[in-house]
Structure 1
Amino acid sequence: MAVYLVQHGKSLPKDQDPDQGLAPLGIEESERIAGVAAGYGVKVLQIRHSGKTRALQTAEIFAKAFNPPDGVQETAGLKPMDDVAAFAPMLEDNPGLMIVGHLPFMERMASYLITGNPDRPVFRFQNAGIVCLDKHPDAGTWVVKWALMPNVG
């Protein structure tokens, strides 16, 4: 039942790119993290993203590594300030789903799923990092199963 939450890769400043596409470092880190996760045998069935350029580009990089059978899809409700409680039910019946989005949404989603309170931080995301959430087999509640981040220091 694992789902994967990904903050988009590092993006260019608005004055360099009004759409804030990925910076070269954002591309490199996204490719590296996607490759490591794929090398570990992570199975992603579908990738959904917010539609913002940096999220789309990150989703496409991850799709090259995972080749999700259900593809890549823009999905409403994933913008930075969207309501995580409204989006959370979509995660219940979608094992293997990867969500590529933005802060504070991604951190608030992890908090909401684990504690029921989006304002109680449980994990600090990094650009291009993956947080895998899964249901605990005994308790039936969401837990952080693992995380893969570009920077560990």
Structure 2
Amino acid sequence: MSHVDPEVDLENEDDIDADADSDAKQVEDEEEEADDQEQDDYGEPFEARSFGGEFVWAKAKGYTCKILRVRAGEKVLVSTRGRQDMVVMLTGGRAVLEVIDGDETDRVEIMPAAPVRVHPEREHRLVAMTEVEMFTVYSVIDG
């Protein structure tokens, strides 16, 4: 029969507590790192939006191009107000484009690298199935 020295048990217990504290600190550091990474995804040059973030990638007299990042599960109205000849294109992720015409809604999954023209006479809404990055390019209607 083996004999266990009580002092050894206390030392082992302290080691376990120290390891647990170290593990908890590591988990906390990893969570902070993940939070920082998420903020970076929607930080500069992106301007924070309720759905994620956006920034103007290119702008000239004839057109504007924006890059949007949309969180999974978010729905984003694709506004055509004051815009014409609008095209959207996913660069990553999966999304459904809802085209609303009166009481009817058509849903079409859009694929990365497949530009889709947005008709100004209908309402469009993007539903992000996963995190999505997309371009929007449009010309502004001169008013």
- TM-score of the superposed pair, with normalisation by structure 1: 0.29
- TM-score of the superposed pair, with normalisation by structure 2: 0.30
Q: Which structure shows the bigger proportion of residues in helix conformation? A: 1
Which of the pair has the greater relative contact order for Cα pairs under 8 Å at 6+ separation?
A: 1
Q: Which structure shows the bigger proportion of residues in strand conformation? A: 2
